[in-house]
Amino acid sequence: MRKYFGTDGIRGEVGEHPITPDFVLRLGWAAGKVLGKEGGTVLIGKDTRISGYMFESALEAGLSAAGVDIRLLGPMPTPAIAYLTRTMRANAGIVISASHNPFQDNGIKFFSAEGLKLPDEVELAIEAELDKPMGPIDSQRLGKVKRIVDAEGRYIEFCKSTIPVGMQFHGLKVALDCANGATYRVSPNVFRELGATVETLGVDPDGLNINEQCGSTHPAALIETVKSSGADIGIALDGDGDRVILVDANGEVVDGDEILFIIAKAQQERMNGEFSGGVVGTVMSNLGLEHAFKSEGIPFRRAAVGDRYVIEMMQQEGWFLGGESSGHIICRDRISTGDGTVSALQVVAAMVESGKSLAELKSGMKKYPQTMINVRTSKSIDISASVEISSAVAEAEQGLQERGRVLLRASGTEPVIRVMVEGENGAEVKQVAESLAKVVENSIA
């Protein structure tokens, strides 16, 4: 059992253990012992939340004490750090971010030399080092620090390379919401350099406004901008840039399931109706996505929620496309982890190639009505061990029969129980979800 690592690194409220400067100092030292080895190099990047300065310094000190050299990237998207870790031949990459959470939270996540999330055994090895007494190595062998000044340019060029050579976006108007987060400088430049007219939102971070009523979790402002400006597409990234939600010209949200369908369908058409491999979704993926892929003859499998599990199944199957309805899309033939900017580029490229609007591209998938309610909890609860919850779920499934499905799960990144119901009848789905959420609330009170 892991003491500190969750499904996406170590995350929590700033000032509450383990998201404290002293713990992060020790974490840097422990990670340096396991990942860096003496004389190795580790990259550090961060999003725009104010606590990033504090934790960057703490990690820097801990890694240096372990004899590891540090390369500072500054505010950069999470996928950029994964990419640069691999291309700069670093031993590991560290991201200081709490993704789509508010500024009061922060977290530390790691990438291996290959730009992948760490396997369980490596996380356990880091936790084992955390239990040991900390002490710096001899002074002459302490790690040194340098800042990488061209990190943004390297990542921008990489992003542009993920669409067909020579393709340009001239004539397209893009509304781009960067969530006042890590993409606020790089992503607008990517689309501008490809020829698009870009109207930006969420590009004025102050350390406190990351994800605040903006970005992929709050698309209302983007929807309004798309409709008022006549944009062809709206793109909403989250605070660390690994998720994306789109908005079509009619102001309709296009979620991760629909983005997966659009990218897969475009790949299939490029290959004259053939599709190489299949697509991995999650247990939260809409039934409509599964049915759409079935009608197109594209294999589809569901993984547990969490990009690490999606990527694991993609690797097992030898497939190159997968993702989550939240907008965490992995184009593994282009980058090793979820990348909101790269995923959005694939969709815009499909629009350019086909001459179709975003609304037309998504029309091949019919979504089932889905309601998800987050029930906040202050304590850990085993949902499967609750007789009341299990009975309520069984009753709901019996009522829905083949018309829908029910899923309850604890979030891996927030203190909430997610209650999800989907089916053919939207009113019925909403009623069942609200009823189940009430049962869960009463059970954890």
Catalogue the active-site residues: 99
Nearest Cα residue to 414 out of 284, 310, 305, 254: 305
CA angle 157, 163, 165 (to 5 degrees): 85
Nearest Cα residue to 13 out of 80, 137, 105, 118: 105
Q: How far, in Å, CA of 18 to CA of 4, rounded?
A: 8
CA angle 401, 402, 405 (to 5 degrees): 80
Q: Which stretches does DSSP call E strand in 114-214?
A: 145-147, 173-177, 197-201
Q: How far, in Å, CA of 128 to CA of 29, rounded?
A: 12
Q: How far, in Å, CA of 419 to CA of 386, rounded?
A: 15
Q: Which stretches does DSSP call E strand in 61-100?
A: 69-75, 92-96
Helix (H, G, I), strand (E, B) or coil at 107: strand
Q: How far, in Å, CA of 400 to CA of 330, rounded?
A: 32
The 8 Å CB, 24+ separation contacts for 405-412 are 405/287, 406/432, 406/436, 407/283, 407/284, 408/383, 408/436, 408/440, 409/283, 409/305, 409/383, 410/380, 410/381, 410/383, 411/374, 412/6, 412/7, 412/8, 412/305, 412/306
In the sheet that holds 145-147, the strands lie side by side as: 10-13, 105-112, 92-96, 41-46, 69-75, 145-147
Q: What share of the chain is helix, strand, coil (3-state, %, to 5)?
A: 40, 20, 40
What does each C-alpha distance from 74 to 9, 59, 97, 171 come to in angstroms?
Answer: 19, 13, 12, 33
